[in-house]
Chain A
């Protein structure tokens, strides 16, 4: 069973602890695509944190395409290697478009990208 832990003594804020754990479990395959996550209220009550904290985690994961909300079907894992690659491709296109728009040279974009990847 996949578990989530909140450590109140940690310097990392609870929403980030949750986000990192969920993402790691998705990447490791322990939370497979299509698996339903607990509701915001349920997870907040179980972990003794504010519902807003869990909602923020879910919002950020949804924005990154790792999870999706399906109405009555609840929040489900949408992360997959293919989906991740598609999203990186999409962002790369946006980056290229932004670079052309602001007349940033491709060499400089590569340097910026290398620096970002190195970080």
Chain B
């Protein structure tokens, strides 16, 4: 095993440690405030606030710890593969597989966070529930949900091509593409089954509409953690499997030069397409998708408040300026 592999493994292990330390040391209140901002809600008053803060801390810890565990297990697997001679060039495979391990670990962590959460039900208090059936489509933006399925399908095509192209399966890139395609499929199954049967099916006792909207926010956040895994691993599998595709195309009778041009053009079109989708996804604020879909009136109110916020801050700034000016003029008079 080369020293470069050991150094890369050490750096990745430190990244895992940093993730765990971050999730366990950052104050829970700050995590909850960050979550509230992302999901477009204000942190509520006690006692709901305390429950949200505790749940946020618990989820973050599960996600971070399982993500770090996924990373360490991947590192161990890669190092074992290197020792066994399955991965000839580990420097290439290591970082990609490590990222795959992290996202699969975080998805498992999100599910464990939901499973270990014990919602409390006060039988003396009124209870509120949705009158309509809710599904994954109510919590995940179609860009994410449909995108994950498409990207995993592309990754599987690339992985299968790598697996059945003579020579490709023996290379580090080929092995990485195959493993990532398999992880992509696994994480898509985790999303489809775990998302429906665990995240959405768990009871959601809520004593008020505010508690219910926060519950939806938490569910949306958990499902977004789950959808990230197939999105990323499928994409990595496709990108890593592209060289295998480029070697497979000439076998279909297409000229090798044409095949290379096709693969290169395809790659750049893919990158441009991905950037466009990413920009669109960010502009649509996918973390607040559940709000627009399930709570349109709350989303409208949040939008109005967001529009008013800059005016408020301008007014505050103006007030500060006025006070400074008053102080200055007072000093001059004296």
Residues in chain A within 8 A of chain B (CB atoms):
1-9, 21-22, 25, 31, 35-39, 42-43, 45-49, 74
Tell me, in angstroms, the Cα distance from A66 to B211 when the chains sit together: 29
Query: Which of B123, B124, B131, B294 has the largest count of A CB atoms less than 10 A from its CB?
Result: B131
Residues of chain B with a CB closer than 8 A to A2's CB: 130-132
* Interface membership of chain B positions 84-119, coded 1 if the CB is closer than 8 angstroms to chain A and 0 otherwise: 000000000000000000000000000000000000
Are A4 and B128 touching (Cβ within 8 A)? yes
- B133's partner among A4, A5, A39, A45 (CB-CB below 8 A) is A39
Nearest neighbor of B122 in chain A, beta-carbon distance: A48
Given A1-B132, A8-B125, 17 additional A-B pairs, CB 8 A: A1-B131, A1-B295, A3-B129, A3-B131, A4-B129, A6-B126, A8-B127, A31-B131, A31-B132, A36-B132, A36-B133, A37-B132, A38-B134, A42-B133, A42-B201, A48-B121, A48-B205
Nearest neighbor of A48 in chain B, beta-carbon distance: B121
> Separation in Å of the A71 CB from the closest CB of chain B?
14
Chosen A-B contacts, 7 in total, with CB atoms closer than 8 Å, are A8-B123, A25-B131, A36-B133, A37-B132, A37-B133, A42-B201, A46-B206
Residues in chain B within 8 A of chain A (CB atoms):
121, 123-134, 201, 203-206, 209, 212, 294-296
Residues of chain B with a CB closer than 8 A to A49's CB: 127
Residues of chain B with a CB closer than 8 A to A6's CB: 126-127
Tell me, in angstroms, the Cα distance from A38 to B206 when the chains sit together: 16
> Separation in Å of the B301 CB from the closest CB of chain A?
13
Tell me, in angstroms, the Cα distance from A47 to B204 when the chains sit together: 8
Are A46 and B132 touching (Cβ within 8 A)? no
- B204's partner among A22, A37, A46 (CB-CB below 8 A) is A46
- A45's partner among B125, B203, B295 (CB-CB below 8 A) is B203
Are B204 and A3 touching (Cβ within 8 A)? no
Interface class of chain B by DSSP: loop
Residues of chain B with a CB closer than 8 A to A42's CB: 133, 201, 203
Tell me, in angstroms, the Cα distance from A25 to B132 when the chains sit together: 11
Residues of chain A with a CB closer than 8 A to B209's CB: 3
Nearest neighbor of B135 in chain A, beta-carbon distance: A36
Tell me, in angstroms, the Cα distance from A38 to B204 when the chains sit together: 12
Tell me, in angstroms, the Cα distance from A23 to B129 when the chains sit together: 16
Tell me, in angstroms, the Cα distance from A50 to B212 when the chains sit together: 20
Are B130 and A3 touching (Cβ within 8 A)? yes
Tell me, in angstroms, the Cα distance from A6 to B121 when the chains sit together: 13
Residues of chain B with a CB closer than 8 A to A35's CB: 132
Nearest neighbor of B133 in chain A, beta-carbon distance: A36
Tell me, in angstroms, the Cα distance from A35 to B131 when the chains sit together: 10
Residues of chain B with a CB closer than 8 A to A21's CB: 131
Given known A3-B209, A46-B203, contact A38–B126 (CB-CB < 8 A): no
Are A4 and B205 touching (Cβ within 8 A)? no
Tell me, in angstroms, the Cα distance from A79 to B120 when the chains sit together: 35
Residues of chain B with a CB closer than 8 A to A39's CB: 133
Are A46 and B127 touching (Cβ within 8 A)? yes
> Separation in Å of the B290 CB from the closest CB of chain A?
10
Residues of chain A with a CB closer than 8 A to B130's CB: 1-4, 38, 46
Residues of chain A with a CB closer than 8 A to B212's CB: 3
Given known A1-B295, A48-B121, contact A43–B132 (CB-CB < 8 A): no
Given known A2-B131, A74-B133, contact A8–B126 (CB-CB < 8 A): yes
